[in-house]
C-alpha cells in the first residue's frame, strides 16, 4: 500500500514495476488501488513480441497456452483477431481464480469504469457486483433513477431489455445498463421474498457524484448522509459540519446507509474526524499474513455526540468507517447488518486503455476482525417499517379490475399504508381496490380512471417513499440515543 505523504512510490513485484497512483478506492462494494504499469507486464501480454522471447524452460506453465495460440492461428477454419485471443486469454486467466472481484476489462469497459468515478456519468445510478455468476445490486445511489424506481440492495438483475445477463461480469453488465440521459432501460429483477421476477423500467439520467447531504433536525441534531466516497467527500463533509455548527449543532447522525464505497483515502480521513489520533482505523493483510496498519489522522476537531446509521447497502469504504468509529471511538451503530465486503483489489491499466483487477489483500477492522461475507452488526438493530420493502410496480403496466397478480397486492398494500381502503389485501384487483385508486387519483388531482398506471403509479410510489422518509425508524432511534448523550 502507498504511503499517504508521498505522491507515489515504486514497488517491485516479481520483476515488474508499477507506479501506484494516490487514489486507492473501494468502488461497488470492493476496494481498489489503481496501478499504472511503468513497464509492460510481460506475463500478461502474450501475443506481444516480448512474450515470444520468454523461454518455455523459464515458464513451462505457458507451453499449453502458446501451443493453443499457435494451433488456432494456423489451423482455425477462419482468420482470427489476435487482440480478441489475447483479451480472452487474460479474461480466462482471471476467471480461473474463481473470484468475482478479479476481472479483465477491455477498452470500452475500462472507460465505463473510469467514468463511474468521475464527477458525473449517465446511467441509472446503482452500484452492482457479480456474485456467483449473477449480477447483484449493492446499493442504488441516493436520489438516482434507480432508487426512485424502487431498486433495492441485494436485488438480482437477471436481464436487461429482455436479454439475460447471467454469467456476465459486473463491468459487462454495466455496459448494458448504462446509457444516454433520457433513454429507457428495462431491468428484470429477482428479489428475495418475491414469488416471481419484477420488471422495472428506468429512465436514465445524469448521475452527479454529489456525496454529502445535510439537514438540521429538531433539538440541535444534525443528520448528514454520505452516499459514497469520492475525491472531495471529506471536504464536502467538513463544509456540512461547519454549516450545521452555525445552526447550533449539538449532536450528529452520520448516515452511511446505502453507501457502496469509494476512495480509500477519503474513508480514512473521514474516520479520522471521529477516531482519536493514533488509534487504528483499519488493517490491510497480505497473503502471508503481513499487516499494514492505518491510524487516525485526527486533530481532535469533533467533540459532539455521534451515532452512525448502517444497512445492508453499506459496503466497503462505508464499512471501514463504521468499523473504525465503532471499535476505536465507541460510537454506536444503529440499523441493520451491513453488506460485508472485506477484500482488496488492485486495478492495473494497460497501454491500450484496457485493464484488469485482482484481489490482493484483506482489510480488517481495528480489532482485526474480517467482515467479509459477514457484514457488521449494529449495536442497536432497528429495521425500517415493512412497507419500506414493498416491491416496485411498473408505471408501464396497467392494473385494473379483474387483474390478479403480486403487483396488485403490492399496490393494495401501498394504498392501505397511505390511508386508502382497498378492501382485503390480496392479489385480486376488485371493485373496492378500484374505488381506492379513484379516491387516490381525486386527492392528487390525477385523471380519475380507477386504473393504476402511468402518473398514478409514479405518484403512489412517491407518496409511499415520502412516508418512509418521514417515518424513518432508524433515524428516530438515532435521535433518541443522541438525546441521552446530549443531556
What cell does 77 get? 477454419
* Residue 5: other Cβ atoms inside 10 A: 6
Query: Cα(377)–Cα(383) distance, rounded to whole angstroms?
Result: 12
CA proximity to 186, closest of 215, 147, 213, 159: 159
Indicate if 377 belongs to the active site. Answer: no
Instruction: Give me 167's grid cell.
Output: 454469467
Taking the C-alpha atoms of residue 262 and residue 239, their distance in angstroms, rounded to an integer, is 19
Query: 196 an active-site residue?
Result: no
- Considering only CA atoms, give the Rg of the chain: 25
The residue annotated as part of the active site, out of 319, 327, 407, 412, is: 327
Long-range interactions of 474-477: CB distance < 8 A, separation 24+: 474/257, 474/309, 474/311, 474/334, 474/335, 474/382, 474/383, 474/384, 475/217, 475/223, 475/253, 475/255, 475/309, 477/334, 477/380, 477/382
Among candidate residues 142, 152, 341, 409, the one labeled active-site is: 341
Whole-angstrom CA distances from 256 to 34, 129, 267, 311, 320 are 24, 19, 11, 8, 11
Distances (CA, A) of 117 to 56, 87, 230: 41, 24, 7
Place of cell 453499506: 314
Task: Mark whether 152 is an active-site residue.
Answer: no
CA 309 vs CA 322, 331, 340: distances in Å: 8, 11, 15
Residue 380, H or E segment: strand 380-381
**Chain centre to alpha carbon of residue 279:** 28
SS3 105: strand
Hey, which residues are catalytic here? 316, 327, 341
Amino acid at each position: 500500500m502507498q504511503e499517504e505523504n508521498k505522491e507515489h512510490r515504486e514497488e517491485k513485484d516479481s520483476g515488474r514495476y508499477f507506479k501506484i497512483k494516490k487514489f486507492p478506492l473501494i468502488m461497488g462494494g470492493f476496494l481498489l488501488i489503481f496501478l499504472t504499469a511503468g513497464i509492460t507486464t510481460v506475463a500478461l501480454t502474450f501475443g506481444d513480441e516480448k512474450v515470444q522471447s520468454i523461454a518455455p524452460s523459464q515458464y513451462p506453465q505457458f507451453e499449453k497456452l502458446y501451443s493453443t495460440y499457435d494451433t488456432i492461428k494456423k489451423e482455425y477454419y477462419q482468420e482470427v483477431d489476435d487482440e480478441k485471443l489475447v483479451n480472452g486469454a487474460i479474461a480466462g486467466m482471471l476467471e480461473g481464480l474463481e473470484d468475482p472481484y478479479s476481472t479483465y476489462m477491455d477498452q470500452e469497459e475500462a472507460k465505463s469504469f473510469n467514468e463511474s468515478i468521475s464527477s458525473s456519468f449517465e446511467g441509472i445510478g446503482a452500484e452492482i457486483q457479480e456474485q456467483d455468476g449473477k449480477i447483484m445490486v449493492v446499493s442504488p445511489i441516493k436520489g438516482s433513477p434507480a432508487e426512485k424506481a424502487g431498486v433495492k440492495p441485494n436485488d438480482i438483475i437477471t436481464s436487461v431489455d429482455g436479454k439475460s445477463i447471467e454469467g456476465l461480469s459486473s463491468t459487462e453488465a454495466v455496459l448494458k445498463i448504462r446509457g444516454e440521459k433520457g433513454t429507457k432501460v428495462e431491468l428484470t429483477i429477482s428479489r428475495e421474498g418475491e414469488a416471481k421476477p419484477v420488471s422495472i423500467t428506468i429512465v436514465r439520467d445524469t448521475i452527479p457524484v454529489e456525496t454529502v447531504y445535510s439537514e438540521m433536525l429538531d433539538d440541535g441534531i444534525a443528520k448528514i448522509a454520505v452516499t459514497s466516497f469520492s475525491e472531495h467527500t471529506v471536504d464536502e463533509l467538513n463544509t456540512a459540519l461547519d454549516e450545521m455548527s452555525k445552526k447550533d449543532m449539538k449532536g450528529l447522525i452520520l448516515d452511511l446507509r446505502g453507501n457502496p464505497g469509494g476512495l480509500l483515502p477519503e474513508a480514512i480521513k473521514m474516520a479520522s474526524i471521529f477516531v482519536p489520533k493514533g488509534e487504528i482505523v483499519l488493517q490491510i493483510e497480505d497473503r502471508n499474513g503481513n499487516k499494514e496498519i492505518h491510524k487516525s489522522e485526527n486533530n481532535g476537531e469533533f467533540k459532539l455526540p455521534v451515532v452512525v446509521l448502517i444497512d445492508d447497502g453499506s459496503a466497503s469504504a462505508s464499512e471501514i468507517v463504521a468499523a473504525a468509529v465503532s471499535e476505536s471511538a465507541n460510537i454506536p451503530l444503529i440499523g441493520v447488518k451491513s453488506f460485508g465486503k472485506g477484500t482488496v483489489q488492485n486495478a492495473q491499466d494497460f497501454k491500450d486503455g484496457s485493464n484488469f483487477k485482482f484481489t490482493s489483500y484483506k482489510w480488517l477492522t481495528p480489532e482485526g476482525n474480517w467482515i467479509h461475507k459477514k457484514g457488521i452488526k449494529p449495536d442497536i438493530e432497528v429495521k425500517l417499517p415493512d412497507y419500506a420493502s414493498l416491491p416496485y410496480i411498473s408505471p408501464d403496466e396497467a392494473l385494473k379490475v379483474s387483474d390478479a397478480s403480486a403487483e396488485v397486492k403490492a399496490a393494495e398494500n401501498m394504498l392501505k399504508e397511505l390511508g386508502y381502503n382497498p378492501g382485503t389485501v390480496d392479489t385480486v384487483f376488485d371493485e373496492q381496490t378500484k374505488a381506492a385508486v379513484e379516491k387516490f387519483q381525486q386527492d392528487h388531482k390525477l385523471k380519475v380512471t380507477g386504473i393504476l398506471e402511468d402518473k398514478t403509479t409514479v405518484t403512489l410510489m412517491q407518496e409511499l417513499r415520502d412516508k418512509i422518509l418521514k417515518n424513518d425508524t432508524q433515524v428516530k432511534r438515532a435521535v433518541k440515543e443522541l438525546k441521552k448523550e446530549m443531556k
